[in-house]
């Protein structure tokens, strides 16, 4: 009994301040409840109060029970058995060094595992309410990076002293932090707890112990003092062990979070137990290192208390707030108001008119190119056709079998071929020879080399068409730059290449823009589809315009599909007020500087580049990647649409975003990942909105053409950005709805690409030819 009483007294002697300090230290590392105080105090109430009670009146069995509770089941039986026989008799045994083995290496590993599980519970949204290890967020999101500065007042309440500190944080390398502190009301008895009582092992310790016990009013024998010594050793060793186990759990989690083979880290420690106990620190270090052998752990004693830390937290928060403000300022330029979007719509409408009018057509940026497609499919199309699909992510050769009649069917076979960059940017002859080489391979594959099939050529670039089967390339866009093609009829270039090959014959019937192919593909399923949109590598739209409005074709009756080539919108400077310096940088780095400015703000090929330019700027300003511009970040095109889409996915946790960035070679922290995600979101949102403003102009134009108050219409859509991006289509739809409230627009995703549409156009072309031949 008396030994336990002494144990309690020993803790009483720590004095409130030290007890609280312990609590602070342990609470800081999330360990108090389970590691040390819980069992001893039997609850989480005021620790000092409990220990004081033991020291004076109440029986000390509580402390003992607690120790038993912490032991393993076998040990518990052993201990309980002992206790039943005779408390005092077995006290010596209990305190003997054998009991050290209660916390064996294996037990500590076990506790470490349990603690990791409890950490998981604490972190989980659903499990947190019942979790014991609460893992409370602190909103401290970053450690100091040396760029903090300012004067701060820190209050340090809860330790031995209430301190008020004035902390000056500068960027001076020699003395970055200067502090002045004022200490208030340090009660006398706090000063007594000098820590000497920790070293009860020494002779002096024994003497001190004797003093303490005598002060307690007992008459201790030398054995009693020895027993107390044992108690203290056991309790403090076990505390160090348990804290090591939980610290080990934290370190192993950190290691897994970082995904590194070896963790190198520093643990900042404070607390009187750690500082004053003669063996505590050594034991803790040793055990932690043994428990996490795959980590290099350094322990750093906090010399200046947590007041300095509080000031640093404030300084970091200031830095982060300031950074956040500057980042938001940067991104604000991308956040367009409804007024600005309405302005984009209005300007698009003006450019549409300029493209359609004869006298302005030449200098118009939005070319409104006639396609000679006069109607959407009516189900009577029939035959076997070959189709080429060039200009998107993939180059495809297709065989399309269309069957008319009651049960309309379309059967498609296709093969994807690569177009190497040196071919895209080589000579025109090389490019067309490569295309013909792929067709030859496909015909071999299908066993159809001898059939002279009609061919529809989806060519996703601006072409001046004078008929269905003639298209003069206005300019290359996206990643193409083959020489000797601009200004040439690409159908002729293809025919010549087929001739050069001398292997097969083909009848090139139609050249089709991908927007038109998409509109036709969708119109085959849904007759109200009269608009085509591509939101992919490039950006463009087409729609059925009244023939009388297409002045360069002439005619009064009916409609014709116009390939708008809206990617060039803004090339005359009409969008300069919303273009940012990042858009300009992307333009300057592109193959076609000054051209396709709207496309460069809203298509998949360029969004990643805009993001990269912003990231470079934020890194230069020290807000990202620790201010280091890596080689990867300097690499053009690293942010493909698919990465953007992944990063912006709502289902991804930050750690996964970070993993994607790391996969891209960008060594990012979680903070970096948050910023990168926001940058991506802002850039893609603007893209979807301005694309929506363009579409609002188109549908309103169609409505006005038809003199309607309200228009119901379907838009056929294709493109990787629209299909893969998690938010693009939603924001795009929303914008169209907001900016063209008099139109009900149904968006239909093209599942079969534009090759099918090209084959349908070819089928109509063939039929028309037959009709023309019959008439002559």
51, 244, 460, 750: which one is catalytic? 460
Looking at the Cβ atoms of 599 and 752, the one nearer to ligand BGC is 599
Choose the contact partner of 599 out of ligand G6P, ligand BGC, none; CB within 5 to 8 A by kind.
ligand BGC
Answer yes or no whether residue 393 interacts with ligand G6P by CB under 6 A: yes
Told to judge if 396 belongs to the known catalytic residues of this protein, a careful annotator would answer: yes
Q: What is the dihedral of CA 287, 291, 295, 300, to 10 degrees?
A: -30
Q: How far is the CB of 418 from ligand BGC (least distance, A)?
A: 18
Q: Report yes or no: 398 and 416 within 8 Å, Cβ to Cβ.
A: no
Q: Backbone phi, then psi, for 166, in 5-degree steps? A: -110, 120
Sheet holding 177-184, edge to edge: 150-156, 162-169, 177-184
Question: From the CB of 721, what's the least distance to ligand BGC, in Å?
Answer: 10
Catalytic residue among 78, 229, 347, 396: 396
Nearer to ligand G6P, 160 or 590 (CB): 590
Candidates 6-14, 622-630, 674-682, 716-724; binding stretch for ligand G6P (CB under 6 A) = 716-724
DSSP class per residue in 309-369: HHHHHHHHHHHHHHHHHHHHHHHHTT---HHHHHHHHHHHHHHHHHHHSHHHHTT-SS--E
Stretch that binds ligand G6P, among 68-76, 169-177, 384-392, 440-448 (CB under 6 A): 384-392
599 binds ligand G6P (CB under 6 A): no
Distance CA 91, CA 560 (A): 101
List the 454-459 sheet strands across, edge first: 409-417, 395-403, 383-390, 454-459, 507-512
Structure tokens at 288: 């932690």
Among 371, 398, 718, 735, binds ligand G6P (CB under 6 A): 718
Q: Residue 461, interface with ligand BGC (CB under 6 A)?
A: yes
594 to 653, contacts with ligand BGC by CB under 6 A? Answer: 599
What is d(CA 142, CA 148) in angstroms, rounded to the nearest whole number? 11
Cβ(108)–Cβ(248) below 8 Å: yes
Question: Residue 391 or 765: which CB sits closer to ligand G6P?
Answer: 391
Residues of span 525-544 touching ligand G6P by CB under 6 A? 534, 536-538
CB of 723 to ligand BGC, least distance (A): 13
Interacting partner of 458 out of ligand G6P, ligand BGC, none (Cβ under 5 to 8 A depending on kind): ligand G6P
Least Cβ distance, residue 154 to ligand G6P (angstroms) = 55
Residue 429 CB, nearest distance to ligand BGC (Å)?
22
Stretch of 191-199, 284-292, 494-502, 511-519 contacting ligand BGC, by CB under 6 A:
511-519
Query: Is the distance from CB of 366 to CB of 564 less than 8 angstroms?
Result: yes
**311 and 167 Cβ atoms separated by less than 8 Å:** yes
Angstrom distance (rounded) from CA 367 to CA 598: 13
We find the least distance from the C-beta atom of residue 396 to ligand G6P, in angstroms, to be 7
Q: Which is nearer to ligand G6P, 9 or 457 (CB)?
A: 457
Residue window 472-501: x/- pattern of binding to ligand BGC, with contact defined by CB under 6 A = -----xx-----------------------
Q: 656-665 long-range CB contacts below 8 Å, 24 or more apart?
A: 659/259, 662/259, 664/632, 664/638, 664/639, 665/630, 665/631, 665/632, 665/638
Q: Active site includes 577?
A: no
Half-sphere exposure of 97 (CA within 13 A, CB side): 0
Decide if residue 455 touches ligand G6P (CB under 6 A): no
Cβ-based neighbours of 393, under 8 Å, separated by 6 or more: 536, 537, 720
Q: Is residue 571 involved in binding ligand BGC (CB under 6 A)?
A: no
Tell me how many residues contact ligand G6P (CB under 6 A).
18
- Active site annotation includes 668: no
Both tokens of residue 430? 């090389």
Closest to ligand BGC by CB, 48 vs 602, is: 602
Contact set with ligand BGC (CB under 6 A):
391-392, 460-462, 477-478, 513-515, 534, 536-538, 540, 565, 567, 599
Residues with a catalytic annotation lie at: 396, 460, 514
């Amino acid at each position: 009994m008396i030994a336990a009483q002494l144990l309690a007294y020993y803790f009483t002697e720590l004095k409130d301040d030290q007890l609280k300090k312990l609590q602070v230290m342990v609470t800081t590392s999330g360990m108090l409840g389970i590691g040390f105080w819980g069992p001893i105090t039997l609850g989480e109430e005021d620790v000092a109060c409990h220990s004081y009670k033991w020291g004076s009146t109440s029986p000390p069995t509580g402390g003992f029970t607690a120790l038993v509770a912490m032991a393993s089941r076998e040990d518990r039986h052993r201990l309980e058995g002992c206790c039943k026989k005779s408390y005092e008799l077995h006290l010596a045994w209990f305190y003997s060094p054998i009991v050290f083995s209660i916390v064996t290496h294996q037990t500590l590993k076990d506790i470490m595992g349990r603690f990791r599980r409890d950490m998981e519970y604490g972190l989980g949204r659903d499990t947190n309410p019942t979790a014991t290890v609460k893992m409370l967020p602190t909103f401290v999101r970053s450690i100091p990076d040396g760029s903090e500065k300012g004067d701060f007042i820190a209050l340090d309440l809860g330790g031995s002293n209430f301190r008020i500190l004035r902390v000056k944080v500068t960027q001076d390398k020699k003395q970055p932090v200067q502090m002045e502190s004022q200490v208030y009301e340090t009660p006398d008895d706090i000063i007594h707890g000098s820590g000497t009582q920790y070293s009860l092992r020494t002779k002096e310790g024994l003497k001190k112990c004797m003093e303490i016990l005598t002060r307690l009013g007992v008459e201790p024998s030398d054995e009693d003092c020895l027993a107390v010594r044992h108690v203290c050793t056991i309790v403090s060793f076990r505390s160090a062990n348990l804290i090591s186990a939980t610290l080990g759990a934290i370190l192993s989690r950190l290691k897994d979070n970082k995904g590194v083979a070896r963790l190198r880290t520093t643990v900042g420690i404070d607390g009187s137990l750690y500082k004053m106990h003669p063996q505590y620190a050594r034991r803790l270090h040793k055990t932690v290192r043994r428990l996490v052998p795959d980590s290099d752990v350094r322990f750093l004693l906090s010399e200046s208390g947590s007041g300095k830390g509080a000031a640093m937290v404030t300084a970091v928060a200031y830095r982060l707030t300031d950074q956040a403000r500057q980042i938001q300022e940067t991104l604000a330029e991308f956040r367009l108001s409804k007024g600005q979007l309405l302005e984009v719509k209005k300007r698009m409408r003006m450019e549409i008119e300029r493209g359609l009018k004869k006298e302005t057509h030449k200098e118009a940026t939005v070319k409104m190119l006639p396609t000679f497609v006069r109607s959407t499919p009516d189900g009577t199309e029939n035959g076997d056709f070959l189709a080429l699909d060039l200009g998107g992510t993939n180059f495809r050769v297709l065989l399309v079998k269309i069957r008319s009649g009651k049960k309309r069917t379309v059967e498609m076979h296709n093969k994807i071929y690569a177009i190497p960059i040196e071919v895209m940017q080589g000579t025109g002859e090389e490019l067309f020879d490569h295309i013909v080489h792929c067709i030859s391979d496909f015909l071999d594959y299908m066993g159809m080399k001898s059939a002279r099939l009609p061919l529809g050529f989806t060519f996703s670039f601006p072409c001046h068409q004078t008929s269905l089967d003639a298209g003069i390339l206005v300019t290359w866009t996206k990643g193409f730059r083959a020489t000797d093609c601009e200004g040439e009829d690409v159908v002729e270039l293809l025919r010549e290449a087929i001739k050069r090959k001398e292997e097969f014959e083909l009848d090139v019937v139609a050249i089709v823009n991908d927007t038109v192919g998409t509109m036709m593909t969708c119109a085959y399923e849904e007759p109200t589809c009269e608009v085509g949109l591509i939101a992919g590598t490039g950006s463009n739209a087409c729609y059925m315009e009244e023939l009388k409005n297409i002045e360069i074709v002439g005619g009064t009756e009916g409609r014709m599909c116009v390939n708008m080539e809206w990617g060039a919108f803004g090339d005359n400077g009409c969008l300069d007020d919303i273009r940012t310096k990042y858009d300009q940088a992307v333009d300057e780095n592109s193959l076609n500087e000054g051209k396709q400015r709207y496309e460069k703000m809203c298509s998949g090929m360029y969004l990643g580049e805009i993001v990269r330019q912003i990231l470079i700027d934020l890194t230069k300003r020290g807000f990202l990647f620790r201010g280091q511009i890596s080689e990867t970040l300097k690499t053009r095109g690293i942010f493909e649409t698919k990465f953007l889409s992944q990063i912006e996915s709502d289902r991804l946790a930050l750690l996964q975003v970070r993993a994607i960035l790391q996969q891209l070679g960008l060594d990012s922290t979680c903070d970096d990942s948050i910023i990168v995600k926001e940058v991506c979101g802002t850039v893609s949102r603007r893209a979807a909105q301005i694309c929506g403003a363009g579409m609002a102009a188109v549908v309103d134009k169609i409505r006005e053409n038809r003199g309607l108050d309200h228009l119901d219409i379907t838009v056929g859509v294709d493109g990787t950005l629209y299909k893969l991006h998690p938010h693009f289509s939603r924001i795009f739809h929303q914008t169209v709805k907001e900016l063209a409230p008099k139109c009900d627009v149904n968006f239909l995703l093209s599942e079969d690409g534009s090759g099918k549409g090209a084959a349908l156009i070819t089928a109509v072309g063939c039929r028309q030819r037959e009709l023309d031949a019959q008439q002559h």
